[in-house]
Structure 1
Amino acid sequence: MVRPVAESGATKTGRVYGFIGLCWLLAGLLGLLPLLGWNCVCAFERCSSLLPLYAKDYVLFCVVVFACILATILALYGAIFRVVQANGQKALRAPARRKSRRLLKTVLMILVAFVVCWGPLFCLLLADTFGSTVWAQEYLRGMDWILALAVLNSAINPLIYSFRSREVCRAVLAFLCCGCLRLGLRGPGDCLTRATEAHSGASTTDSSLRPRDSFRGSRSLSFRMREPLSSVSSVRSV
């Protein structure tokens, strides 16, 4: 995305499938390590207080791996951020600038959501790894919600990507309006007003131009219909 290279569609598709397969392979190997012997079944003093039956050194290894992944994601999103910002400054048209700023806000929202969801878990796992067992059992109780927050990030990203799209917002609004009409909570006029408000400035401009085009079409049609009458009148005058 940052440095586009001209290549065939088959090459791009193969590269994408290769990266997806590599990610699943690494995730599977990382998850199988405790089953292959990297656990604390025979030495409970080395177990993590937050993740029972997982060795503290394994938890530290996972934190390092996830930190590298987080740094890579932040670097990639930062590169996308700079490219979008540069394109927005170079764009001379107002719609192009608005589109660049909108994409810029979406990237920032994704970055903030990722850091907010995964940052507390990283800090908690580091405290669990380097802290004593007694301290961890006393202060880390009731911290399971941090695990849920990290998992919730996978559900937040699709929502951000979808609801930042105007087409998705219009579809959701139309769905809600249908439900309100069936329940009798809203009338058809209210739904039409909400639907027109959801349209962008470009769409309103296009819609405002359509009556003019139709008026021009009707004028040209009426002019064409009047042509035979003028020819008939000229024949009669002759």
Structure 2
Amino acid sequence: TKVNWYPPKIPNRFNQCTIKVRMVQWPPFVINVPNGSWSGPPRSSRGIEISLLDLVAEFANVRMFYHHDQVPDNWGNVYGNGTITGNLKYLYQEIDDIAIGAYAISMKRCLVFDAVSYHKHEKLIFYVPFQTLNSKLTSLGEIMGFGALVLTLFLYLVVTTMSWLVSRHDYTHYQKFDTCAFETYQILLGLSVSLQPRSTKVRFFIAMLIIYSFYVVTAYQTLLTSTLANASTKQEISTIEDILD
């Protein structure tokens, strides 16, 4: 009953033992760590993996000796014929104790080395917050909002009905309500029509619709172009709570 079932798995009795760490300068894992430097208090400015090893050194009472190869970015690899190159070769020959610098776990490497993943993926991936376009597209509703839409529909129905009623001496195209409505709808969209009205009364109402359509289309396109050309950005991250979220 007096047995401790959960003793400390890592005893604090290593007496400042030196552990050789061969590194590859590769932010954000290893950031500007001088060659031949030693571990110290954990600092985030030296990189993720350096900070983790500094924490281990402080906890286990050891000293990490950080050094790198003369060949830059000399990670090395394990090949199918058994050849080992780069920093992994020093690790295989037990010249070094640990190799760091954004190493990925592979099947061939696991047959030779012990790999400890400190993240659920092969590498710890950093994301930056995206910036949302804070454009003025919402102001487009001022033109084609509910009120403008009702006004346009009302004017379209009035012009179509009046053009149809006064089209006794015009083309048969305008004397039928369905074809007359199709023509006026094309004019409302700013499109060309196949038959231009020839009677003065029909031309009067069609001219009203052309003028209205011209101003609406011009204002809409002008505001749309101005909005797309003057988009701004909105800051997404401003507090620590935003980062945690």
**Structure 1-normalised TM-score?**
0.25
**Structure 1 or 2: more strand by fraction:** 2
Answer with 1 or 2: which has the greater Rg.
Answer: 2
**Structure 2-normalised TM-score?**
0.24
**Structure 1 or 2: more helix by fraction:** 1
